[in-house]
Amino acid sequence: MTAPQNLTRAACAARDAADPLAPLREQFDLPAGVNYLDGNSLGVLPRATAARVQDVVTQEWGQGLIRSWNSAGWIDLPRRVGDKIGRLVGAAPGELVVADSTSVNLFKVLSAAARIAQANDPARRVIVSERSNFPTDLYIAESVAAQHGMVLELHEIDAIPARLAQAADVAVLMLTQVNYRSGRMADMATVTAQAHAAGALMLWDLAHSAGAVPVDLNGANADFAVGCGYKYLNGGPGAPAFCWAHPRHADRFWQPLSGWMGHAAPFVFEPGYRPAPGMQRYLCGTPQVIGMSALECGVNTVLAAEPLGGMAALRAKSVALSELFIALVRQELAHSGLSIHTPLDPAQRGSQVSLGVPADGSVDGYAVMQALIARGVIGDYRAGDGTAAEPHLLRFGFTPLYTRFVDVFDAIQTLADVLASGEWREARFMAKAAVT
């Protein structure tokens, strides 16, 4: 079969050559021989990070010691890095702080949301979320619901508007904007408006949004948000996370993780808790200095796109990459049995495409991904229940800062090879399938 003009490797290389964002890739240290399409799980290493971390360790800590809390600005890290992330998600300076993990931050803001909802209307006792939301969000919500005498209700995403309209009992709608399995993206302004029309508060998890797609928390009039530092923000494994509250909520109540860094005067060492004004009260323990410093380097790689059009330009490239991927799947893998499990409308898609393996079990998705990784193409595998509705998935993430059009082309070629050759059936790939 002859490929259409724009679906050849040469055409992809030409697009890379003409791409004004292409120089951003120089910000990263990418391993040789690896085609990395898993930045939606763990972003790659920025070139600046190793030197910065080394400086924090050997100079700021090693030489400055305790003095560096002030002299090196350690104490300001949660807010300084938070303000930088704020520029990517439509939060004003001082509105967003970096701290803890996504799960811990979700506990803080969901607890606050639950209390606010209860204060507004005690009859609202339901937290609604998506059945296939990332599990840690559901686990935390289960806990917060139990603590507040609420219930957590899970629905398919398309059933949520009807559920909101059904009764005035929903306290909080909690969604991850881009679903980790399907890559489906919600329209933040529309869904937030639906939640508000139903009298519910709106909490967004931006794990797969921040640094990947344009987000405007204030513009959408959202209530709360959390997000992850180690995916599209390139902060490193287990990087600190972030949280945001709309200013109308930030000063209300105090969140339950009332550690000293959220106190109005942490270094006065008074025995009673007085929450700091604004978002500062969402801090808890001592800042993770090394991790936050690495995260700052990662966030800087995204901010480096600002002179080139910023998130809008990154988004345009991301859509072009995923459109190319989908077109190549259709061209090269039409008879593979793999299905496209991500919305075909780019407006409903984040920065990843997930391929479903056949429900008949003829392809072992785990083994296919292992065989791809052995060939240097790194995506990841997420098991489903194996049905056509919730298939086992091969996930491929596109990070426009460093993913090239030729990377997309090469990944599809390799995937086609792996399927055609049947090499995924080799014992070394199959053997571990049971571990997943």
Pick out residues in 83-102 that bind a copy of itself (CB under 8 A): 100-102
Interacting residue with a copy of itself among 69, 87, 157, 339 (CB under 8 A): 69
Residue 436 known to bind ligand: no
Our finding on whether 286 is near a copy of itself (CB under 8 A) is yes
In 10 A of CB 363, how many CB atoms? 20
3-state secondary structure (DSSP) of residue 382: strand
- Write each residue from 357 to 396 as x if it is in contact with a copy of itself (CB under 8 A), else as -, in one continuous string: ----------------x----x-x-xx-------------
Interatomic CA distance for residues 255 and 183, integer angstroms: 31
Taking CB under 8 A as the rule, does residue 402 contact a copy of itself?
no
Residue with tokens 């959408």: 220
By CB under 8 A, tell whether 18 contacts a copy of itself: no
Within residues 221-240, the interface with a copy of itself by CB under 8 A covers: 230, 236-240
- Residue 214 touching a copy of itself (CB under 8 A): no
Pair 425, 67: CB distance under 8 Å: no
Using an 8 Å Cβ cutoff, are 263 and 73 in contact? no
Q: Please, which residues bridge with residue 181 across strands?
A: none
* Binds a copy of itself (CB under 8 A): choice among 219, 285, 306, 312: 285
Query: Measuring CA to CA, how many Å separate 56 from each of 62, 69, 235?
Result: 8, 12, 15
Under rule CB under 8 A, residue 254 binds a copy of itself: yes
Distance, in Å, from the CA atom of 186 to the CA atom of 156, rounded to the nearest integer, reads 13
- 176 belongs to an annotated ligand binding site: yes
> Considering beta carbons, is residue 236 or 350 the nearer one to a copy of itself?
236
Name the one range near a copy of itself by CB under 8 A: 142-150, 188-196, 310-318, 354-362. 142-150
- Residue of 107, 180, 230, 232 marked catalytic: 230
Nearer to a copy of itself, 193 or 383 (CB): 383
The answer to the question of residue 218 lying near a copy of itself (CB under 8 A) is no
Q: Does 416 bind a copy of itself (CB under 8 A)?
A: no
Helix axes 9-18, 405-421, angle to 10 degrees: 160
Among 104, 159, 319, 359, binds a copy of itself (CB under 8 A): 104
Q: Quickly count: other Cβ atoms within 10 Å of residue 176's Cβ.
A: 27
Q: Are 182 and 140 in contact (CB under 8 A)?
A: no
- CA quadruple 153, 189, 225, 52: dihedral sign: positive
Burial class (CB in 10 A: 0-12, 13-18, 19+), 414: middle
Looking at beta carbons only, is 231 or 249 nearer to a copy of itself? Answer: 231
Window contacting a copy of itself (CB under 8 A); options: 11-19, 27-35, 191-199, 423-431: 27-35
Residue 190 in marked binding region: no
Give the total of residues touching a copy of itself (CB under 8 A).
Answer: 84
Would you say 288 or 322 has its CB closer to a copy of itself?
288
* Residue 269 is a binding residue for a copy of itself (CB under 8 A): yes
Residue number, 84 or 395, with CB nearest to a copy of itself: 395
Amino acid type, 424 = W
281 noted as active-site residue? no
Separation in Å, CA 107 to CA 45, 203, 372, 410:
29, 12, 37, 41
134 is catalytic: yes
- CA proximity to 37, closest of 333, 346, 357, 415: 415
Residue from 35, 38, 91, 280 in contact with a copy of itself (CB under 8 A):
38
Length of the chain: 436
DSSP 88: H
Contact 392, 366 (CB under 8 A): yes
Candidates 205, 364, 407, 410; catalytic one: 205
- Quick check: 159 binds a copy of itself (CB under 8 A)? no
How do strand 224-227 and strand 201-205 relate by DSSP bridges?
A: parallel
Q: HSE (CB half, 13 Å, CA atoms) of 416?
A: 15
User: Quick check: 68 binds a copy of itself (CB under 8 A)?
Assistant: yes
From the list 135, 307, 361, 422, which residue makes contact with a copy of itself (rule: CB under 8 A)?
A: 135
**134, 224, 405, 429: the active-site residue:** 134
Contacts of 217 (CB under 8 A, 6+ apart): 89, 90, 91, 188, 204, 225, 244, 246
Of residues 174-213, those binding a copy of itself (CB under 8 A): none
Active site residues: 134, 205, 230-231, 395
Binding residues for pyridoxal 5'-phosphate: 102-103, 134-137, 176, 205, 208, 230, 260, 286
Binding residues: 102-103, 134-137, 176, 205, 208, 230, 260, 286
